[in-house]
Amino acid sequence: MTNRLKTLSIVFSAIIIIAILAGLVMVNIFYIRHHSVEKKFLTPWLGMRTFLEIGSDPYGEPATQRTQFLFYGKLAESGQDPLILNQPFASEILYFPFALINDYTTARVVWMFLLELLLIGSAYLSLYLFEWKLPKSITIAFAILAVFGTQAIIPLLENDQVILVFIFLLIGLIGIRMGLDELSGAAFALAFFQPSVTCLLCLMTFWWAIHNRRKRFIWGGMMAWGFLLLISFGLFPGWFLPFIRSFRSEFVFVNYQSTFGILSDLWPAIGSKVAVSLTFGIIIILILEWRAALNKDINWFLWTASLTLTTYPLVGIPTIAVNNIVLLIPLTYILKVIAERTGRKKQWLFIGVIIGLIFFSGWSFTLLSQNFTNNDALKMITFFVPSLLLIAGLYWIRWWATRPPRTWMDTIDREQS
């Protein structure tokens, strides 16, 4: 009887999973029917298809014109986004499986479905990274925040590859924790394809790995990069210069934001000077924190990595709002340490309230911002507030996060939590 119940339970669970996955596909089809074209997936997909079908340069005029006809219904006019492929061919190879699908709508449905699965996986991986076990009710609340929060839904609806980069970051950090250095190095190398959000963390992690003689990490990264570069230059030897030209042409049409642009608009006379001072200040803090973490344990490393991800918008690198998905990593660390320092009876209620506030405040502000008339104030809030709040939270937990339990009672509290 017990075996029969287990079998029925497995079958029932499988049916539920299949129903959920089928539901995701149907939602994707419904959404795409009402939003027939977009830029983030269309351009790299059609660039790779053009390369496969006629062997044409994916940065060249044939691929660009095909993209413009599909997006605008005609060639782009003066002042319109030319929709030129603006990513290196080494990362364009990642779109090869989707370019095998002839129909754009079908390929986009499959791409969105993959991104949704990755978002679901990111919730689990974020908890696994920090070895944080939650009660079922709080796990569901955290998963809702990770999968349906504004930081996840916005890049999903834009079909942005930053979700894939986020997964690479999580795999890389988990690999370091588990001592899987080759896997970790390869994951960080792949995450570097989104340099506006990952370059600081990747560079400083490689510094940390060299100092700590984690040679397998370095070799893993070099092999991943070497493999992709070898394939890319083998398939298309002259891709680098066309990529540079297309990136420069496309840069002005991407809604990049930076401390220099925002502060210069706010304070025309001194904004750029304030931005330069902020950049140097943040970089000095990061260098000092990474030096302090060089010979420390994994918890100190993860705290410093979280700080680096939190401060990336403040160092002057042009970025876009969808990149905020990576802020789930420092947020998870903060929530975990808060749970450990809160009484057992209150911690889950407290954490649940925080998760709810973050989720609803994020969506409330996103929806209300449609009616904002002061664009400069809106940019200031959306750009600076998330990072500044997380920086404050990380420094608040720094002592407990970077040091082992100091007393026997601290050990007992952590074991109970």
> Is the pLDDT higher at 77 or at 169?
169
Per DSSP, the residues of 171-221 read HHHHHHHHT-HHHHHHHHHHHTTSHHHHHHHHHHHHHHHHHTT-HHHHHHH
What pLDDT does 343 receive?
A: 65
| DSSP-derived 3-state class of residue 270 | coil
Q: What average pLDDT does the segment 389-417 reach?
A: 68
For residues 228 and 93, is the Cβ–Cβ distance under 8 A?
A: yes
What pLDDT does 366 receive?
A: 80
For residue 247, which of 374, 139, 86 has the smallest C-alpha distance? 86
Burial class of 219 by CB neighbour count within 10 A (0 to 12, 13 to 18, 19+) = middle
What pLDDT does 372 receive?
A: 63
Residue that the structure tokens 């027939």 belong to? 36
d(CA 135, CA 123): 14
Q: What average pLDDT does the segment 361-388 reach?
A: 76
Q: What average pLDDT does the segment 335-363 reach?
A: 82
DSSP 102: S
- Give the torsion sign (CA, 174, 176, 178, 179): positive
What pLDDT does 412 receive?
A: 45
> Is the pLDDT higher at 116 or at 339?
116
d(CA 330, CA 279): 20
Q: What average pLDDT does the segment 220-249 reach?
A: 88
Q: Which residues have CB under 8 Å from 102's CB, separation 6+?
A: none
Convert 159-173 to b/e letters by CB count within 10 Å (16 or more is b): bbbbbbbbbbbbbbb
The tens digit of pLDDT for each residue in 65-99 reads 888 888 888 887 877 888 888 888 888 888 989 99
Q: Is the pLDDT of residue 329 over 50?
A: yes
As given in the structure block, the two tokens for residue 397 are 């937990």
What pLDDT does 404 receive?
A: 59
pLDDT confidence band for 285 (50 / 70 / 90):
very high
Q: Is the pLDDT of residue 414 over 50?
A: no
Maximum pairwise Cα distance, the chain: 79
What pLDDT does 325 receive?
A: 92
Q: With pLDDT > 90 as the criterion, what percentage of the chain qualifies?
A: 26
State how far the alpha carbon of 381 is from the alpha carbons of 10, 247, 262, 354, 384, in Å.
47, 29, 11, 20, 6
Per DSSP, the residues of 72-92 read HSSPPPTTS------S-HHHH
Q: Is the pLDDT of residue 310 over 80?
A: yes
Of the candidate ranges 44-48, 309-313, 368-372, 398-402, the one whose mean pLDDT is the lowest: 368-372
Q: Across all residues in the chain, what is the average pLDDT? A: 84
State how far the alpha carbon of 96 is from the alpha carbons of 46, 69, 117, in Å.
10, 22, 19
Q: Is the pLDDT of residue 212 over 90?
A: no
**Helix, strand, coil percentages in the chain from 3-state DSSP, rounded to 5:** 80, 0, 20
Q: With pLDDT > 70 as the criterion, what percentage of the chain qualifies?
A: 90
Helices (H), 236-343: 240-251, 259-266, 271-293, 298-311, 328-341
Of the candidate ranges 3-12, 136-145, 171-180, 313-322, the one whose mean pLDDT is the lowest: 3-12
Q: What average pLDDT does the segment 296-314 reach?
A: 90
pLDDT confidence band for 253 (50 / 70 / 90):
confident
| DSSP-derived 3-state class of residue 153 | helix
pTM exceeds cut of 0.85: yes
- Give the torsion sign (CA, 289, 295, 299, 302): positive
The tens digit of pLDDT for each residue in 373-386 reads 556 667 777 888 88
d(CA 307, CA 159): 27
State how far the alpha carbon of 326 is from the alpha carbons of 194, 242, 368, in Å.
11, 30, 23
For residue 118, which of 81, 46, 169 has the smallest C-alpha distance? 169
